[in-house]
Structure 1
C-alpha cells in the first residue's frame, strides 16, 4: 500500500493530462484489490478497505485541484491590485502636470542657460569674464570686483537726475514677474528684494555704458554724464572691450523691456534716441558692423527685441531675409549640402571673390562667381558666434541664420590653404596667431550644433553651386588640375607634349599633301 500511496502523491503533484490518466489507471488497479491497512500514523485509527482509500484519495485530489485554481486567482488579484495602484499614481501625476497654455511662463523665456553639450566644449565662451548681467552669474567670484562700479553708476544716475531711488525700485517691482518669466526656474530661488535689486543695478550699469560710450569725446562724457577723465571703466583700454564681449553672452542678459523702462525714467528732456540705437552704436566695430538695413528696422528691433544679444543678431542679418516669426520657416526641400572646400571650388572653375558689403552674412552666387563679404576675426569672434548660435538653438521662434553662415564657412574652410586663399582675396582678415588657428576656429563652431538643412538662408546659393559642379566640364577640369597641373613642371610637360603631338600631326599632314599634290 505504501507503493500506491507514494505513486498517488507523486501523481497529485503533477497536474497535467498525463498524470490524470495515470491516476485513473491507479484507481482501477486499487479497486480490483482487497482490504488494506492504512500505514499513515496520523490516520491509522482503523483499517480501511481499498474502496474507502479510493474515496479518500479522490477527495484529496479534488482539494488539490481547488488549491491549484485558487493560486492563479490570487496572483491575478495581487497583480490587479498593483496595476490599479500604478494607474492611480499615473493619473495623479497627470493631474499635477499643468496643461500647455499660451500664457505660460516657458513661452516667454528668451534668456537661456546654455545646454551642457555645448558648454562642455567651450565653457569660458559662455561665462562672463568682467561683469555679470542678470541672475545666472550673480555672485560669481570672478566678476565680483565690478559690483562696486554698479553701485557707483546708480549713485551717479541719482545725482544727475535728482530722483529718489524709490522711484526706480517701484518701476522695477512692477516688472518683476514678467522679468522672471524670461529666465529658467533657477531664478525662483532669489527672493523678491534681491531680484529687484539685481534688475536695478544691472540695468543702470548697462544704460550708463551705452550712454557714455555714445559720446565721441572725453569732454562730452564728463560734461553730460559727470564722469571724470580718469574713470576706471571708461578710460580703460582693457575693460570696455571685455564688457562689450560679456554683454553679448546668452546667459548674461536682461530683458529689453527692463532697459527701456529705466531708460525712459532716467532720460533727460534733450536726450534723443533709444536703447536699440545706443546698443548698435556700442557694438559697432571693425569685426561686426550692425546696421538697420536688414529685415529689421530700428523701430522693429526696439519693439520686438528680446535683449541686447537678440538686437545685435537682428542687426547683422542680410537684406532680403525674412524676419523671425512663429511659423515663418519656409522649408527648402531641394537643399543640397555643400561638401567642397575653397580649394576644390577653385579647381572646379568657380571663382571666389570679395563682395563689397558691410553685412558679412550677405553671400551671393551667380554664373560660377561666389561673392563673400569680408570678415575680420579676432579673439572675441568665436565667443560671439557661439552665443548667437546657442540662442538660435534654444529659442523656438528663431531661424538659424548665424548657424547657417557658420556651417557654410565650416564647409568652405578645411585647411590653411583655404584660409590663405580667402585672405589673398580680401575676404578673411584675422588677428589670430596663424591661418591654422582660423581654420580650427570655423571647424570648432558647429560641434554639437543641431543644424536643420531645411531651414537655411543659403540653400539657394548651395544648390546653384552644386548644380554647377555636377556639369561635365567642371569634372574634367578638376581631373586636369589634379593630374596634370598640380605644379609648374607638370604644366610645362603637358604643353610640351601637346606641342610635339601638334608638330607630328603637321609633319604627317604635309607628307600626305606632298604625295597627292606634286610640286610644279
Structure 2
C-alpha cells in the first residue's frame, strides 16, 4: 500500500514539474471540438499549411515547394543578411513564439530545428505573398499563385484560418529587419501591405488597427469589422434581453429594412421603424471567414465579442428563405450562393454551439426597441392597412370612398335624429 501511494505521489509530482506555465502570449487556438463538428471543412486548410497545427500534413506538402521558392526570392532580393543570420534571429524568438500557441509545443512535438525552420519558411512566404500583392513587379512569370486565380483564392482563404497562424511579431519583425530605410519600400509598413492583402482595399490602415496589439492575421480581420461605437464608448444598460423577432414577423409589424450606407458591417441602427443594416455579401468563403473570427473571439475575447454578437442577432432575424428574400429585396443581403435557402442555412448554422455572453449583448438595445415597436398594436394595424388596402391606387381610392360614405351616413343619421 505504501509503495503504491509513493508511486502515485511521485507520478503526480513529475507531471506538475513538467507542466508548462500558462503564458500571457497565448493567442492562437485550436478549434473547440463542438464547433468543429458543425462544419469541419470551414476550419481546415485546402492548400497551404502555416504554423504548427498542420505541419507535415500529407495533403498540404505539395505547397511546400512554392513556399521555398518564395523564400528563395526573398533571400535573393534582400541580401543585407545571409540565411544563417535569419535563422539566428528566428531562434531568438522561438521561446515566445511557442508560447503563442494554446497547444503544448514541446520538443517532442516539434524539435527546435523543425520549429525554427517552419517559422522562417512560413514567415518569408507570407511576407513575399504580401509584397507581390503590393508591388506587382515582384511577381515572377511562373508564379503559381498570382498567375492562377483559383490557387490565389484558396491561399487567401487558408491564411485566414485560426489554426493556420503565425504570431504577428514574427512576421513584422522579419519584415522590419530587411526593409531598410534606403530601400524602395521605405514608406510601406508591414501593416500596410498586410491590410491591403486581407481587405483588398488600397487605403490607409484604420487607427484602431494601428493602435492595437495585433496578435495575428485573424486578429486584424476582427479589428477590421469592429463597430464604430464599441462597448467602452456605448455602455449597455439592458443586461437582460430577448432576441428580436424574425424579419418576416417584424415586416408584418411595420418594420422597414434598408441597406445602411455605413461600410462597417456591425453598425446596425433602428430609427423610427426603420432597421438600417450594412450590406452583407454572401459568397462561398463567407462562412469559413467568419467562423474562424468567431473561434478567435470565443477563445480570446469572450467578454468583448462583437462578431459573435452580430451573427447571434442576424440568426434571430433570419429563420427562413422568406426572411432572406426580404433582406435581398431591400439590398441588405447580396446573395452569391444561388438561392435564399442556402443563405438561411448559413445563418442558422454559423451560430450553433457558440456561447454568447448575454449579459452584455451588443445588440440588446436594438432587440428591445424592435420588439417594443412590433408589439405596439397601432404599428401593426398601420402595416396591415398599408399592405392590404393601400398597395394599389384603386384600393386606396375605394378605402377613402368607403370612409367618406361612412362619415356622410353618420352625419345623415345624426341630422335625422335632430
For normalisation by structure 2, the TM-score amounts to 0.87
- 1:188-227 CA-to-partner distances (Å, cap 9, x unmatched) read 2110000000000000000001111013xxxxx33xx3x4
Structure 1 residue aligned with 2:177: 265
> Is 1:246 matched up with 2:158?
yes
Comparing 494-503 and 466-475, the one that deviates more: 494-503
> Is 1:344 matched up with 2:249?
yes
Equivalent residue in structure 2 for 1:175, among 87, 90, 93: 93
Give the superposition deviation at 1:315.
1.7
Equivalent residue in structure 2 for 1:155, among 49, 61, 72: 72
1:81-160 map, 5 Å: 93=12, 97=16, 104-160=21-77
Equivalent residue in structure 2 for 1:465, among 349, 365, 370: 370
Structure 1 residue aligned with 2:221: 312
Structure 1 residue aligned with 2:266: 361
- Residues 28, 165 of structure 2: 8 Å contact kept: yes
Residues 365 and 511 of structure 1: CA distance in aligned 2, closer, same or farther (over 3 Å): closer
SS in 1 for 2:368: helix
Give the superposition deviation at 1:244.
0.9
Equivalent residue in structure 2 for 1:282, among 175, 197, 222: 197
For 2:374 and 2:417, how far apart are their aligned partners in 1? Answer: 48
SS in 2 for 1:370: strand
Runs of 4+ with >6 A deviation: 85-88, 328-331, 486-489, 494-498
Give the superposition deviation at 1:291.
7.2
For 1:446 and 1:291, how far apart are their aligned partners in 2? Answer: 32
Give the superposition deviation at 1:126.
0.4
Residues 130 and 99 of structure 1: CA distance in aligned 2, closer, same or farther (over 3 Å): closer
> Is 1:204 matched up with 2:87?
no
Structure with the larger RCO, 1 or 2 (CA within 8 Å, 6+ apart): 2
Residues 256 and 131 of structure 1: CA distance in aligned 2, closer, same or farther (over 3 Å): same
SS in 2 for 1:392: helix
Where does structure 1 lack aligned partners over 5 or more consecutive residues? 1-80, 216-220
Where does structure 2 lack aligned partners over 5 or more consecutive residues? none
> Is 1:405 matched up with 2:310?
yes
- Residues 363, 372 of structure 1: 8 Å contact kept: yes
Residues 310 and 154 of structure 1: CA distance in aligned 2, closer, same or farther (over 3 Å): same
Give the superposition deviation at 1:285.
4.1
- Residues 127, 249 of structure 1: 8 Å contact kept: yes
For normalisation by structure 1, the TM-score amounts to 0.71
- Residues 363, 371 of structure 1: 8 Å contact kept: yes
- Residues 347, 477 of structure 1: 8 Å contact kept: no
Give the superposition deviation at 1:397.
6.6
- Residues 277, 298 of structure 1: 8 Å contact kept: no
Structure 1 residue aligned with 2:112: 192
Residues 515 and 371 of structure 1: CA distance in aligned 2, closer, same or farther (over 3 Å): closer
- 1:29-74 CA-to-partner distances (Å, cap 9, x unmatched) read xxxxxxxxxxxxxxxxxxxxxxxxxxxxxxxxxxxxxxxxxxxxxx
- Residues 133, 202 of structure 1: 8 Å contact kept: yes
Residues 515 and 260 of structure 1: CA distance in aligned 2, closer, same or farther (over 3 Å): closer
> Is 1:166 matched up with 2:80?
no
In the comparison of the two structures, how many residue pairs are matched? Answer: 411
Give the superposition deviation at 1:104.
3.4
> Is 1:513 matched up with 2:415?
yes
For 1:421 and 1:379, how far apart are their aligned partners in 2? Answer: 21
- Residues 239, 358 of structure 2: 8 Å contact kept: no
Alignment RMSD (CA, Å)? 3.5
- 1:280-331 CA-to-partner distances (Å, cap 9, x unmatched) read 1001249xx99744xx534313xx00001101111221112158xxxx9966
